[in-house]
Structure 1
C-alpha cells in the first residue's frame, strides 16, 4: 500500500426509464481500470462493490442520487451483512446461480418484509426457476440479447400473466431497434451498450489490516469491553473513517454528532458493528500488507492530541476523546486526495472537531497546530505553537513527555492491531 492508499475501482452502468432518464446504476466489480471484471468469488466481489460504493468512494459520489442495483449470490443472500444495505435506494439482484429452493424463498420473503427491493437477474425463459422466484421479486431483468426475436413477445406475456406486479427491465439493449422493440413490449427500464457501456469510478483505498478485522471480530464475539474495541479502532484510522462513511451513506445515520470512537460504538451498537466487520472481511479476503505510513501518522497524531488535551484539560475526558478523532481526521485529505470539507461533509462529527479541522478554532485548534509543528521538527514553529497571545498552549516539558508517549504508542501498533496477529 502506498502512502496515499491503494487505487480502487468500481464499475457502474446506467439504467434508464422510458423517457431515457437515468434512474439507477448497476454497480459492478472491477479490479482495475479495464472495462472487464475478473470475478473469482461472487460473494467477495459483492462485498467489494458495497464497501467501495458505500464506504471508500461514498455513495453520493458514485450514485448521484440514483438507485443502486447490486448483484448477490446465494452465499451473500443468506449473510447478515446484506442487512447493512439501505432499504431504500438499493435493488438486490438475485444472480442466475441462486436456486429456487424453499430456503431461498423464505429468505427473499424476509428481505421483502424488511423493505428491500429484489430483482431477478438474467431471465431468458419462463422456466421452473423463473416461475418459482417471480412472486418474490419486484423487478425482472430480461436478457434481450439472449432471447430470440420471436421469443421475446411470448416471454413478456408469460411474465405479465404470472406476475402483473413486476416491472420489466430490458438488459443488454445493444441497438436502437432493440430499444424500440422493448418500448413497444412495455418494458419500464432499459440497460445496455446502446445507452452507455459500464464506466469505472476510481478512488483511493483507506487501508485496514486483515489482522485488525479479525481482532475486532473476536472482541465482538467475546463481548469485550467498549474500551478494548476503542483501542483497536484507534490503531486503524482507515477502518474508523470507512465505518463513519458507510453508516451515513447507507442510510443508517448517526442520531447525534460524533465526539469520539466510543460514541461510534455506542450509537451503532455491537450487532451493526459486527456485520460491518464481516462485510469488510468478505471484501479483503486474505489480503495482507504493510500499514500505510500516513495511516500510522494519523493514529500517532491523534494519540498526541489526546495526551495534550488531557494535559491542558485534565478533567475533560470527552475533549480528549474528541482530540484523538480530530488528530486522526486531519490527515484524511492526504490519504484520500480530497479537501477536508469534502471528507467531513458526510460524517457528522461534533462541532468541536469540525471547528479545529476547518478553521483551526475552538479548544482543539491550537492543539492541532501544536501536533503539526511537532511533526515538522521545526523548533521555531513549535515554539510559536507552544505559546499563544494568552499564554502557553501547554507546558513545554509536559508536551515533550506526551510526544515520547505518543511515539512509543505508535511503535506498539506495529506489534498490535496493525501487524501483530498472524493468520
Structure 2
C-alpha cells in the first residue's frame, strides 16, 4: 500500500528582493520533507530533484509565480547537458563555492554564458584567484555577509566593482535592517535573508513513474528506436507523460506547436532533449519499490479505452485515436496532482479539440470521455444514451474496446512498479 507521504514533494523557495524590497526572484532549495531545512548528502542529486520538482512535478508557474529561479549547481551538474534544457531566460545558475576555477570549468561557464544563461557566483567572501577568473562570465555575485566585517565587506565590494563594474551584487544572509542599509549604501542591487523572509515550502503531489519505464526509454532512445516504440513505452505512464509535457513547456520547446498525441510530445521535446530529461528524472528518482498507483493505472486505462473506442468508430482516423488517448489520460490529472483542471491545462499547448473536450466536454472527444466515465461508473443509461449519438459505434464494438482496454491495463499493472511508492 502507498502511504500519503510517499506522494508528497517539496521545494524550498526563498525570496530575492530588489533595492525597493519588491520581489525579484526566488532561490529554489532542496527539501525532502516538511522540515524548514534539509541535509544534502549529494549536491547534484539534490539539484536534479529541485529541477524535476519545480519544472515538471509542480509546473514552473506554480513554483515561481513567473519570477526568475536561482538554482545551485555543483561541479558535476555544471558539466551536464541537462542544464541546456532549462529556460535560460528565467533561470540563474548559481555556481557553488565548491566548484574550482579550472580551465575546464571556465570554458564550460563561457559556453553557458554564450548560450544565453545567467550565472551567479555563490557565497563569495573574498576576491581570490577563483573569483577573478569566473567574474567576467557571471551576471550576479552573491556575497555572504556573515563572516565579513563592515570594513572587509566594503573592501570586497570595491575590488569586485573595479574588476566588473556592471555585475549585480546580491547580499545574502541579510539578518538586520542595519545590514540592509549598509548594503544599500555600498550599491547592492539584490537582497536575500531572514530579515526579509525565511524560505517557504512549496508542496505538491508527485506523479509516479517507474524506473523500469525510464530505463526502457533510455535504451530505446540510445538505439534510435522508432517513435511508435517510444509511444508504446509512454502510454502506460500518464505521470511521466504529464511531466514531459510540463518540461517541454518549461524549456520553451513547445512555443509554436500544439500537442495532439504522444508522438507530438516526443517531437516537441526532440529526441536529444527527451533523452536529457529522462536522464534527469532517473538521477532525481529514488528507487523505492512498490506497486503502481491505482489512479495512474486508471488514467492509462481510460486513455486506452477511449483510444480503442475511437479506432472502432473511425478506423481510418489515427488523429482521433491519438487525441482520445490524450483526453482520457489527462482527464484524471486534477485528482492525481490535486490542482484544478484549468491550472493544469493553462501552461500546456494542447490541441484545441483536446483542450475543449477536457474543459467543457465539447466535441466528439468530449462525448467519448462521457462514454468512458459512464462505463467506469456502471451508469448503463448514460452509456446507452452516449452510444446512440455514435451511429457507427455499436454496443458490441464498445464492448470489444472495453475488453481491449482491460487486457492492456491488466498487463501494465503487472509490470510497472512505481518508483515513488513506499
**Structure 1 and Structure 2 fold alike (TM over 0.5):** yes
Aligned-pair distance for 1:286?
Answer: 3.0
- 2:394 corresponds in structure 1 to 395
Greater CA deviation, 358-367 or 103-112? 358-367
Q: What are the within-5 Å matches in structure 2 for residues 58-207 of structure 1?
A: 58-207=59-208
Unaligned runs of 5+ in 1: none
How many angstroms apart in 1 are the aligned matches of 2:392 and 2:37? 55
How many angstroms apart in 2 are the aligned matches of 1:355 and 1:42? 42
Name the SS of the counterpart of 1:363 in structure 2.
Answer: helix
Q: What are the within-5 Å matches in structure 2 for residues 349-368 of structure 1?
A: 349-368=350-369
| C-alpha spacing 1:196/1:132, structure 2 compared with 1 (3 Å) | same
| C-alpha spacing 1:203/1:419, structure 2 compared with 1 (3 Å) | closer
Contact kept in structure 2, 1:203 and 1:336, CA below 8 Å: yes
- 1:244 corresponds in structure 2 to 245
Task: State the TM-score, normalized to the length of structure 2.
Answer: 0.95
- 2:44 corresponds in structure 1 to 43
Contact kept in structure 1, 2:145 and 2:153, CA below 8 Å: yes
Greater CA deviation, 244-253 or 37-46? 244-253
How many angstroms apart in 1 are the aligned matches of 2:33 and 2:5? 17
Contact kept in structure 2, 1:254 and 1:268, CA below 8 Å: no
| 1:35-71: CA deviation from partner (whole Å, max 9, x where unpaired) | 1112111111111111111111111122112111000
| C-alpha spacing 1:131/1:279, structure 2 compared with 1 (3 Å) | same
Contact kept in structure 2, 1:94 and 1:118, CA below 8 Å: yes
Name the SS of the counterpart of 2:152 in structure 1.
Answer: helix
Contact kept in structure 1, 2:18 and 2:189, CA below 8 Å: yes
Q: What are the within-5 Å matches in structure 2 for residues 211-290 of structure 1?
A: 211-290=212-291
- 2:306 corresponds in structure 1 to 305
Aligned-pair distance for 1:416?
Answer: 4.1
| C-alpha spacing 1:418/1:223, structure 2 compared with 1 (3 Å) | farther
Q: Aligned Cα RMSD in Å? A: 1.7
Task: State the TM-score, normalized to the length of structure 1.
Answer: 0.95
| C-alpha spacing 1:5/1:307, structure 2 compared with 1 (3 Å) | farther
Aligned-pair distance for 1:165?
Answer: 2.6
Contact kept in structure 1, 2:289 and 2:418, CA below 8 Å: no
- 1:210 corresponds in structure 2 to 211
Aligned-pair distance for 1:414?
Answer: 3.0
- 1:326 corresponds in structure 2 to 327
Aligned-pair distance for 1:417?
Answer: 5.0
Contact kept in structure 2, 1:99 and 1:129, CA below 8 Å: yes
Aligned-pair distance for 1:132?
Answer: 2.1
Unaligned runs of 5+ in 2: none
- 1:337 corresponds in structure 2 to 338
| 1:152-205: CA deviation from partner (whole Å, max 9, x where unpaired) | 111111111122231111000000000011111111111000000000111111
Aligned-pair distance for 1:4?
Answer: 11
| C-alpha spacing 1:248/1:13, structure 2 compared with 1 (3 Å) | same
